[in-house]
Amino acid sequence: MQVLFQKLLKHSDGWNQTQKEAMVDLCLLGMYSDDLISLAEQDFIENESTQLKWESGISFSGYLQRTIPKIRSAKVDSQKVEDLLQNISERLGSDELKRKASSELEKLLASDEVVKLEEEFLSKVQKVMGI
């Protein structure tokens, strides 16, 4: 999981800031979808924030502080999850980035071996993104 997040955050050349934020949101939503967030995952995200090519007026850790509560509150309501996924899809823009995001999300979800929840969430993501 840590290697995947590192790859996503460091190799997003050609992605604009809105697309990077959408990918972070998608990863966070995926992490919270199965209720298994490890301390190592959280520590990794905090450590990586200092190396991230983040081009926003708000720091990466500030973005996480603002976004994580939104993700947590959305995950208890399927309509909120769908709305958030639709928003993420719109921010990703191109079908190519949506497919890349979906592929990377699949790797992320597989890292904790919660198969049934992973399949359901990934299916929902792909449906909303139309891929």
pLDDT in tens, 73-114: 998 898 999 999 999 999 999 999 999 888 878 877 776 666
Q: Which domain holds residue 87?
A: 2-129
If you write DSSP's letter for every residue of 14-29 in order, what string do you get?
Answer: T--HHHHHHHHHHHHH
pLDDT at 92 (0 to 100): 95
In terms of DSSP H, where are the helices of the chain?
A: 2-10, 17-33, 39-48, 60-74, 78-92, 95-110, 115-129
Q: How many CB atoms lie within 10 A of CB 38?
A: 13
- Residue 59 scores a pLDDT above 50: yes
**Domains in the chain: how many in total?**
1
pTM of the model: 0.80
Q: What angle do CA 124, 109, 114 make, to 5 degrees?
A: 95
What is the chain's mean pLDDT, rounded? Answer: 80
pLDDT-derived band of residue 1, with 50, 70 and 90 as boundaries? very low
pLDDT at 25 (0 to 100): 92
Q: How many CB atoms lie within 10 A of CB 69?
A: 10
